[in-house]
């Protein structure tokens, strides 16, 4: 039973009792099993006994992507390798990925959380769901897959990349739900619309996330496909999809607070934000064994409300995301840091460090283009040399970020110089 009062409708007092017990346990776990955390806590004179419950949370140090990078790949793992049954990874700020590991228990909790999220979208036993998030190191595919199986739904593991096959299967196998990025779903909707096939599909709901989208875009998807569309949030460091999801009332995403303790901080001061104020979302994992994280700074900007929802759930709700406090871009659901591209370019050593990236959305699909300055000689030499370098840069960047990119090489001093902080990215995508 997924939608159950014990987990979703407990009183604030009951939730705090549960969180207190779980927080003290996880703090002990990281202190005793993770040298990096032990040292971090000792550096500020903390012992596990100093943390009696969530009212002590502010005493604990933050964790950031840099901590994961500094301890790459396994330095923050709190379980021995023999207990780790799965590894996932996402982009780091420079070349190295952020690696996360799950014990069997972690996978069970993750599946339960995703199942709880899918339940909000009406998915259950008897549903047929197409999972069109990428499968692989990205958490989207397998995360949604295990959650749907946990519910007893029939899963079609589509992954990404072949819209024709996806829409054919959607129709032929009678899919009633789909899990994919919102921009991809809008693309699917427009494809079906153009082919006059909307009436032939049985889709009832969608669970979309992994990238920012707007309420207007959600309504557009619902209107086009005549379905109910839900916003699912998550991040690999904390677990993957299924950290929070919105219910039929769409008044914020319910956070699975029994597993992830949320805080909102002001990024400039790193202090707890005033109640209801927008700030950076921070999570402490309360039940994870593989890689529990303490006060992980997500860099995602949102606000939080503890009011009971009309649906009856008492879980805290975070509002739709308002952006990020760093420069991470999400392109086709893939996280990209401009610094990764810069590092790859510099390592090649054949270009100048002057470049500009442009992200746009064409037919609801993100495209990434880039202009890079190269020496004059490439323009006076044979054209073939220019083409070869273009291809080489495209390959190098694609390998570094995992996304196709179109590169145009330009002559020296043609990219506008900035007086202040260099403008490296122009994001032309308009979230409708």
User: Per CB under 6 A, which of residues 52..91 are in contact with ligand DLL?
Assistant: 90
Stretch 230-289 residues interacting with ligand DLL (CB under 6 A): 231-236, 240-241
Using CB under 6 A as the binding rule, whether residue 133 contacts ligand DLL is answered as yes
Q: Per CB under 6 A, which region of 60-68, 79-87, 168-176, 209-217 contacts ligand DLL? A: 209-217
Q: In the chain, how long is the greatest CA-to-CA distance?
A: 74
Given candidates 204, 250, 324, 371, which one binds ligand DLL under the rule CB under 6 A?
324
Cα 398 from Cα 394, distance rounded (Å): 6
The only residue of 103, 127, 205, 298 in contact with ligand DLL, by rule CB under 6 A: 298
Q: Which is nearer to ligand DLL, 77 or 133 (CB)?
A: 133
Among 8, 112, 211, 280, binds ligand DLL (CB under 6 A): 211
Identity of the residue, 234 or 290, whose beta carbon is nearer to ligand DLL in the bound complex: 234
Closest to ligand DLL by CB, 21 vs 219, is 219
Three-state SS for 129?
strand
Q: How far is the CB of 280 from ligand DLL (least distance, A)?
A: 11
User: Whole-number minimum distance, CB 330 to ligand DLL, in Å?
Assistant: 6
**Among 66-74, 131-139, 165-173, 391-399, the segment contacting ligand DLL (CB under 6 A):** 131-139
Exposure string (b/e) for 191-226, b if CB count within 10 Å is 16 or more? bbeeeeeeeebebbbbbbbbbbbeeebbebbbebbe
Look at the alpha carbons of 126, 128, 133, 136 in this order and tell me if their dihedral is positive or negative.
positive
Tokens matching residue 256 = 């699975």
Q: Which of residues 28-57 bind ligand DLL (CB under 6 A)?
A: none
Nearer to ligand DLL, 119 or 335 (CB): 335
How many residues form the binding site for ligand DLL (CB under 6 A)?
23
CB of 209 vs ligand DLL, minimal distance in Å? 3
Strand pairing report for 406-410 and 365-373: parallel
Residue 210 as a binder of ligand DLL (CB under 6 A): the answer is: yes
In the complex with ligand DLL, which residue's Cβ is closer, 218 or 313? 218
- Cβ 297 to ligand DLL, closest distance in Å? 10
Peptide bond into 73 cis (omega under 30): yes
Through-space distance between the first and last CA atoms of the chain, rounded to whole angstroms: 37
Pair of tokens at residue 231: 């916003």
Judged by CB under 6 A, does residue 131 bind ligand DLL? Answer: no
Which of the ranges 195-203, 206-214, 272-280, 366-374 carries the binding residues for ligand DLL, by CB under 6 A?
206-214
Position with the least CB separation from ligand DLL: 209
In angstroms, what is the minimal distance from the CB of 19 to ligand DLL? 22
Candidate residues 92, 209, 262, 402; the one interacting with ligand DLL per rule CB under 6 A: 209
Q: Could you give the angle at the alpha carbon of 308 between the alpha carbons of 303 and 309, nearest 5°?
A: 80
Task: Give every CB contact of residue 99 below 8 A, 6+ residues apart in sequence.
Answer: 68, 72, 73, 74, 87, 88, 89
R_g of the chain, CA atoms, integer Å: 23
Per CB under 6 A, does 300 bind ligand DLL? Answer: yes
Nearer to ligand DLL, 184 or 233 (CB): 233
Residue 134 near ligand DLL by CB under 6 A = no
Does residue number 140 form part of the binding site for ligand DLL (CB under 6 A)? yes
Distance CA 257, CA 243 (A): 8
Q: Using CB atoms within 10 A of its CB, is residue 33 exposed (0-12), middle (13-18) or buried (19+)?
A: middle
Stretch that binds ligand DLL, among 138-146, 222-230, 370-378, 404-412 (CB under 6 A): 138-146
Contact 160, 179 (CB under 8 A): no
Residues 376-409 as b or e (16 or more Cβ within 10 Å = b): eebeeeeeeeeeebbeebeebbeebbbbebebeb
Among 92, 101, 147, 212, binds ligand DLL (CB under 6 A): 212
DSSP lists the bridge partners of residue 272 as: 265
Binding residues for ligand DLL, per CB under 6 A? 90, 133, 138-140, 209-212, 231-236, 240-241, 298, 300, 321, 324, 330, 335
């Amino acid at each position: 039973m997924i939608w159950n009062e014990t987990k979703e409708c407990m009183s604030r007092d009951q939730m705090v009792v549960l969180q207190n017990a779980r927080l003290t346990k996880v703090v002990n776990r990281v202190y005793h099993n993770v040298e990096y955390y032990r040292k971090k806590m000792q550096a500020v004179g903390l012992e596990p006994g100093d943390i009696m419950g969530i009212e002590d949370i502010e005493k604990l140090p933050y964790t950031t992507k840099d901590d994961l990078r500094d301890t790459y790949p396994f330095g923050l793992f709190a379980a021995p390798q023999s207990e780790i049954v799965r590894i996932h990874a996402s982009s780091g700020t420079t070349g190295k990925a952020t690696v996360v590991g799950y014990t069997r228990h972690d996978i069970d909790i993750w599946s339960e959380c995703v199942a709880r999220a899918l339940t909000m979208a009406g998915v259950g036993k008897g549903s047929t769901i197409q999972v069109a998030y990428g499968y692989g190191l990205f958490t989207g595919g397998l995360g949604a897959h295990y959650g749907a199986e946990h519910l007893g739904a029939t899963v079609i593991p589509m992954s990404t990349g072949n819209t024709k096959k996806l829409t054919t299967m959607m129709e032929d196998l009678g899919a009633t739900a789909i899990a994919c990025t919102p921009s991809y779903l809008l693309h699917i909707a427009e494809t079906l619309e153009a082919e006059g096939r909307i009436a032939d599909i049985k889709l009832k709901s969608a669970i979309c996330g992994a990238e920012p989208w707007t309420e207007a875009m959600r309504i557009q998807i619902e209107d086009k496909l005549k379905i109910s569309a839900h916003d699912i949030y998550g991040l690999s460091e904390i677990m993957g999809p299924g950290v929070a999801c919105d219910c039929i009332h769409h008044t914020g995403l319910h956070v699975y607070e029994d597993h992830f303790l949320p805080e909102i901080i002001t990024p400039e001061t790193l202090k707890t934000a005033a109640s209801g104020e927008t700030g950076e979302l921070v999570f402490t994992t309360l039940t994870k064994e593989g890689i529990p994280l303490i006060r992980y700074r997500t860099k995602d900007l949102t606000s939080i409300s503890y009011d009971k929802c009309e649906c009856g759930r008492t879980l805290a709700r975070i509002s739709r995301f308002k952006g990020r406090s760093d420069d991470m871009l999400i392109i086709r659901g893939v996280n990209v840091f401009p610094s990764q591209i810069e590092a790859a370019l510099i390592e090649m050593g054949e270009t100048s460090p002057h470049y500009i990236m442009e992200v746009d959305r064409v037919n609801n699909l993100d495209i990434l283009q880039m202009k890079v300055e190269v020496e004059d000689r490439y323009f006076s030499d044979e054209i073939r040399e220019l083409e070869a370098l273009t291809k080489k840069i495209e390959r190098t960047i694609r390998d570094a970020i995992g996304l196709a990119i179109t590169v145009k090489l330009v002559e020296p001093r043609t990219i506008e110089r900035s007086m202040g902080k260099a403008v490296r990215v122009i994001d032309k995508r308009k979230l409708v």
